[in-house]
Amino acid sequence: MRLFPLLAAAAFPCAAPVLAASAEERETAWPPERTLASIEIDGPYEVRLAAAEPLVRDPVEMCWDAAGRCYVADMIDYPLGSPDGIPLSRVQQLIDDDHDGKFDRAVTFADRLDHVQGLLPHQGGLIATTRTQVLFLKDTDGDGVADVRKPLMAGFNPSFSQLQVSSPRWGLDGEVYFNNGLDSAQIYPVAEDGVAKGETVAAAGSNLRWNPDTGQLHRAAGFGQYGGGFDDWGRHFCSSNRSPVMFAVVPLETLTGSNTAPPRAPWENIAPFGPDSRVYPLQITHTTSDAHSGTNTSACGLGVYRAHLMPELSGDIFVCDPTGQLITRFRKPVAAGGSLTTSRVGTQTEFFRSRDEWCRPVNITTGPDGALYV
C-alpha cells in the first residue's frame, strides 16, 4: 500500500475515539479493494494499492536500489517454516510497466531463503538478513535473478524468527547497522566458503554495525527487535515489541572502549513503552496477554519520514503494530536533557488503522516518490 497526500477534496473518517468492536473471525482474506475500504487515515492522505498477490505473498521489507528498482522481502515461511525444512522465503523485484504507481509484475530475484526479513541495497546488489545468515545477493548477468549468494555473517539461529538479526540500515559513517533481534548469539563475519573470519561478537543486549570495506563486525548502541532507521542528523532509532521508539543516545564504544558490556545502556526509550504505551485499534484483537490489551504488544517496522512530498511529516517516526492492525505516528523527536523525547500524534486515534483482521502492517518505508509504503 502507498500513502500519498490528498490532492482533491474527499470525505474522511472522523478521527474521534471509536469504540472497538470484536474482530470478525474468518479463514479467507478479503479482496484488496475491501481491505482498502476498511482503512482509516488520520489526515489529508490517500491510500492506494501498490501490489498484491500473486506478486507478493507475505511482504515484510521494501527497498529501492540506485537504479530505482524495487525489491521486497517475501517472508513466506513465517512463523514456523515448512514441514520439510526447505526455506520458502524469497526476494521479489516489483516492476511497474505502465508507470501508474501500481506494480504489474514480479521477478523472483532470489528464492529458497530462510525467513528473509531485511533488505539493503549495496554495490549493485542487496544485503539480505535471514534466520541464520546475513547474505549478499547480486545479479551479474542481467537476467533479474541473483547469481551471487555470498554469506557476510553468521553464528545465529534463533528459536523464533522474530528474534533474528534484521533491519539493515546505512549510517552516516558508511557502516551498516542491524537490529540484533534480542538474540544472544556469538555472531561473526564469514568468508565466501562460510568459514568464520574476524572477531566474534557477543551480541547480547546490543545492536550490530558492520564495516563493508573491512568486514569487521562490532556491537552497536540499541536493542531493537524489528524495525529501525536514521533521521537527517544521523540519529539511530529502533523498535521492539513493547517499546515503539528506542534511541541510541551515544555510540556504545564511547562508554566501553571495547566490545565488552557497557556500565549502563547507551540507548533509551523516548516514547511511552510497556504498560504506559497506548494504541487505539478499531476492533478488539487477541494479544499475548490480557495485560497487554490497549498497549503496544507487537511494535515493529519503525520508519523515519525523510522525503519532501509531505513536508508536514518530515522527521516524524512511524511505528507499526500488526496485532492492532495499525500504525502510530510520533512527532519529530526534540531535545530532552542529554537525550530526546517524542509523543504520539492524535488523541485516541492512529495514523493508520484497519478493520480487516488480515491487514497486518509490519514495516513502513519511504519510497523514491516520497510516498510511504506499508
Q: What is the pLDDT of residue 10?
A: 30
With a cut of 60, say whether residue 262 has pLDDT above it: no
- Spatial CB neighbours of 250, under 8 Å, sequence gap ≥ 6: 221, 266
**Poorest-pLDDT segment among 216-220, 264-268, 295-299, 316-320:** 264-268
Q: What is the pLDDT of residue 365?
A: 96
Which pairs count as long-range contacts for 193-196, CB under 8 Å and 24+ apart, including other chains? 194/151, 194/154, 196/154, 196/155
With a cut of 60, say whether residue 235 has pLDDT above it: yes
Q: What angle do CA 144, 304, 117 make, to 5 degrees?
A: 40
pLDDT-derived band at 16 (thresholds 50, 70, 90) equals very low
- For residue 291, the SS3 value is helix
- For residue 36, the SS3 value is helix
Q: Which three cell numbers stand for residue 199?
A: 572477531
Q: What is the pLDDT of residue 160?
A: 78
Longest dimension (CA), the chain: 60
**Poorest-pLDDT segment among 123-132, 214-223, 300-309, 312-321:** 214-223
Q: What are phi and psi of 234, to 5 degrees?
A: 80, 15
Mean pLDDT across the stretch 263-283?
88
* Nearest in space to 217 (alpha carbons), one of 230, 195, 200, 194: 200
- Model confidence pLDDT, tens digit, residues 91-104: 999 999 999 999 99
Mean pLDDT across the stretch 197-216?
86
**Poorest-pLDDT segment among 184-198, 267-281, 289-303:** 184-198
Q: What's at 72, amino acid-wise?
A: V
Which tops the pLDDT comparison, 255 or 353? 353
- Model confidence pLDDT, tens digit, residues 329-372: 999 999 998 899 999 999 999 999 999 999 999 999 999 999 99
- Model confidence pLDDT, tens digit, residues 358-369: 999 999 999 999
What is the rounded distance in angstroms from the CA atom of residue 278 to the CA atom of residue 294?
Answer: 6
Sign of the torsion angle spanned by Cα atoms 316, 313, 295, 160: negative
Distances (CA, A) of 34 to 18, 45, 282, 355, 358: 20, 18, 16, 10, 11
Helix (H) or strand (E) holding 253: helix 252-256
Q: What is the pLDDT of residue 21?
A: 54
Mean pLDDT across the stretch 211-238?
93
With a cut of 90, say whether residue 322 has pLDDT above it: yes
Q: What is the pLDDT of residue 91?
A: 99
**Poorest-pLDDT segment among 47-61, 113-127, 257-271, 344-358:** 257-271
- The per-residue pLDDT of the chain, averaged, comes to 88
Q: Around Cβ 165, how many Cβ atoms within 10 Å?
A: 28
pLDDT-derived band at 261 (thresholds 50, 70, 90) equals low
Mean pLDDT across the stretch 221-239?
94
Alpha helix (H) residue ranges in 122-174: none
The end-to-end CA distance of the chain, in Å, is 5
DSSP symbol at 242: T
Is domain 32-373 given the CATH code 2.120.10.30 in the classification?
yes
Mean pLDDT across the stretch 187-196?
76
pTM exceeding 0.85: yes
- Spatial CB neighbours of 108, under 8 Å, sequence gap ≥ 6: 90, 91, 92, 93, 145
Mean pLDDT across the stretch 15-43?
75
Q: What is the pLDDT of residue 61?
A: 97
| Residue pair 299/241 in contact by the 8 Å Cβ criterion | yes
